[in-house]
Amino acid sequence: MGSTVLRGATIDDVDLILGWIRDLASFENLADEVEATRERIAQTLFGPKPAAEVLLALDGDLPVGFAVHYPTFSTFLAKPGLHLEDLYVRPEHRGRGHGQAMLHHLAALAVQRGCGRLEWTVLYWNETALRFYRRLGADLLPDWRLCRLSGSSLDRLARPAGMAVR
């Protein structure tokens, strides 16, 4: 896997993380959907109650990628899980083992934390990523679809008419 060095991100890495989020969104043709700001990342990742953790991959001293992950829970297993939200390696550093090193680390972290699963989603058209994940032994679950509520849809469901909340 080459010379990959892994370390947890710190608040000093906020600008780097934000840049990679924007790069990833552009690659996924979703740049218009990025609402992340420096301040929001600092608060949600490094504030008093972090929502996720960020793992950085470095080639020597040069940051080349990141993995954002957070805990989940499986009722069927009655165990915690780990969800990989984003895995990104700068294009010029791909194919050198950095992504694989981050996934090995996350798998070890999941085992260490007693997790029953390490899960993530991948865009159906990202054949390079699909091949990469298959090579690592990942199962692609064709019967499952990701559901999402956001923006006004989330707001509407959060305030159903006539429902009392106690």
* Residues marked as catalytic: 133
Contact 17, 45 (CB under 8 A): yes
β-bridge mates for residue 89, sequence order: 65
Contact 134, 140 (CB under 8 A): yes
Contact 77, 116 (CB under 8 A): yes
How far apart are alpha carbons 118 and 109 in whole angstroms? 10
How far apart are alpha carbons 48 and 113 in whole angstroms? 21
How far apart are alpha carbons 98 and 1 in whole angstroms? 7
